[in-house]
Amino acid sequence: MPFSRISLLAGHSPAYLGALTNALDRALVGSFQVPPHDRFVAVHQHAPGELVFDRHYRGGPRSDQYVLFHITTGKPRSAATKAAFFRRLVDELEHAPGIPAQDVMVVIAESGWEDWSFGGGLSAADDRGAAP
C-alpha cells in the first residue's frame, strides 16, 4: 500500500533504478509487513540545479548518490517501526545498488485505507476483506 516517490540526480541506468526499487521493496516487506507484490513507485530524476540538498546538515557527508524517499503509507505505524524501517532501508541500499548510508534520506506521509483506490473505482477500505 505504500506509494513511494524517489528523487535522485539524473543519469542512472535502468539496472541501478531496479536495484533501488528492489531494496526499497525488501525494506517495506521486512519492516512494514507490506505484501511482496504491493509495489508502486515513481522515480524522479533531476538535473543538478533541480535537486538541492545540504551536504552536512544533521548527517552526511552527502554525495551525488543522494537519494530521497518520500513514502505515503496507508496506515499509521509506531516510531519504533519507522526507525527499524530506516535502518533496514540503508542496509539494503548499501548492499545493492551500493549507496552510502549517509546519502539516504526518508520522509514518510501517513494516510488511511479510505484514501486509497487500487483500481476499478473501488475504495481500499471497502475492498479490505478481498485483499490477497
- Where on the chain is the footprint of its own copies (CB under 8 A)? 3, 7, 14, 17-18, 21, 35, 37-46, 48-54, 56-60, 62, 68, 70, 72, 79, 82-83, 86-91, 101-111, 114-127, 130-132
DSSP helix/strand/coil, 3: strand
Give me the least distance between CB of 91 and its own copies, in Å please.
7
Least separation in angstroms between CB 5 and its own copies: 8
Beta-strand relationship, 67-73 and 3-9: antiparallel
Q: Is 90 left (phi over 0), alpha (psi -120 to 50) or beta?
A: alpha
Kindly state the smallest distance separating residue 118's Cβ from its own copies, in Å: 4
Residues in contact with 60: Cβ distance below 8 Å, sequence separation at least 6, in sequence order:
54, 102
